[in-house]
Structure 1
Amino acid sequence: MTGTVREVTPEIDAGAVLAGAQFIDAYRVEIGASPIDAREACVRMVLHGPRWVDTLVRLRNILVSPFGLKTSGEGTPAPHGLIGLFPVVSETPERLVAGFNDYHLDFRIVVELAGEATSREVTSTTLVRTHNLLGRTYLTLIMPFHKLVVRGMMGRIMEPAR
C-alpha cells in the first residue's frame, strides 16, 4: 500500500557500509511513480520531518553536549554536502549514505530507491557501531524513540516538498 511505512528485514551489506555494526534496522515505504531520487527522499525525511522530531533532536543536543558528543555534522568530512546535520558520505540517484563517526558511536543511514517506474519504494536502513559504555548507554536510551522517529520521518517522503 502506497504511503504505509513498515519495518522490513535489512537487505544491505553492513560490512561495506559500517563494518562491525551492532544495530541494524530498516523501514520501507511504497511511493508509486513518484519521480524523487535518494537525495530528495532523504531531504524530505530529514528536513521536512514532523515538528515533534525536531523537538526531540533539540532535546537530544542539549542533553549530550555536556558529554562532548556531536550535536551536528560539524568537523565531519562531507564529500557530498550535508542534509540537515548528516554529512553525505556517498550518493547515487538510487542510494544515499549519510552519517558520521563520534567518540561514543558511529552512525549511518542508507536511503535506497528500488522498483519499477510505476511501483517504486524507499528503504531507510540505520546502522550503529558503539565504541564504549557511553555509546551502548546512548543507544539503549534512544531505542524507544528510534522506531517512532524513523516512521514519522519516512511518512513525509510522499508529501510534496515545502
Structure 2
Amino acid sequence: MPDANRSVLSVALPAESGVARLYDAPDLADAYAIRLPDNAIDDPELLARFLFAHQAKWVAKLLGLRDALVTRFGLKTSKELRAAISPGARDRVDIFRIYTRSAREIILGENDSHLDFRLSVLQQTRDTREGSARYLTLSTVVQCHNGLGRFYIVAIAPFHRLVVRSTLRRAALIGWPTI
C-alpha cells in the first residue's frame, strides 16, 4: 500500500496560485502535489530551498547534459546562472530567480530568448477522508517565444515531469524540515 505522505499526485494547476493565470495559453502547464507532515515547516521559500538542495545526483547529470546541448543555441545554462549569483544573495533559489513571495507561495523562474517559465511552490490545505491535511504543490507554466522554445519544451517535458516527481518524493523520503 502506498504511503500517503510519499505519494506524488498529478493535480490541476491550483486556482489560487499566482502562476495559474500568468499566461493566456501556456505551452506547458502542470502541477504535482505531495502531502506534508503536520510538523513540517510552513515557509514556502525554505521548502523550495530544501527541495533543490536535496535533488538526486542523476538530476544534476541530466542538467549537465541539457547545458551541453543548449549552449550551442545560445540559451542560458545552469552554470551561467549560478555564476551570476552573488555570495549570500537571497534573490534566487538555486538557479531560479525569485519573482514573488507570500506566506503560502513562492514563485521562481527565468526568462530566456526562447521561453519564459515560472515555478510555483505553494502550500495548501486540502480536505481528506481523515479531515484536512497540508500539501505542497509544485506548478510549472511555460510560455514559448519561438519554434526553438516549442521544440525545447516538447523535448524536455518528459524529463521535467520525472524530475519534479523525483524531487518531491526524495524530499519526503529524506524527511521534510520541521518546526
2:69 pairs with 1:63: yes
Task: Quote the residue 1:51 is aligned against.
Answer: 57
> Which of the residues 101, 107, 121 maps onto 1:97?
107
2:142 pairs with 1:128: yes
3-state SS of paired residue (2:171): coil
Matches within 5 A, 1:3-14: 3-12=6-15, 14=19
Percent identity between the aligned chains?
31
Unpaired runs of 5+ residues, structure 1, are: none
> Which of the residues 23, 26, 39 maps onto 1:21?
26
Displacement of 1:30 in angstroms is 0.2
Larger radius of gyration, structure 1 or 2? 2
RMSD: 2.4
Task: Quote the residue 1:109 is aligned against.
Answer: 119
What is the CA–CA distance in structure 1 between the aligned matches of 2:23 and 2:43, rounded to whole Å? 23
Q: Does the CA-based 8 Å contact 2:118-2:140 persist in structure 1?
A: yes
Task: Quote the residue 1:147 is aligned against.
Answer: 161
**Per-residue Cα deviation, 1:133-152 (whole angstroms, up to 9, x for no partner):** 10011001101212111101
Q: Which amino acid aligns with 2:65?
A: L
> Which of the residues 95, 98, 101 maps onto 1:88?
98
After the TM superposition, list the runs of 4 or more consecutive aligned residues in structure 1 that deviate by more than 3 angstroms. 12-20, 72-76
Query: Please, what TM-score do these two structures have when normalized by structure 2?
Result: 0.79
Residues 15, 6 of structure 1: alpha-carbon distance in 2 compared, 3 angstrom cutoff: closer
What is the CA–CA distance in structure 2 between the aligned matches of 1:29 and 1:89, rounded to whole Å? 23
3-state SS of paired residue (2:76): coil
Q: Which amino acid aligns with 2:145?
A: H
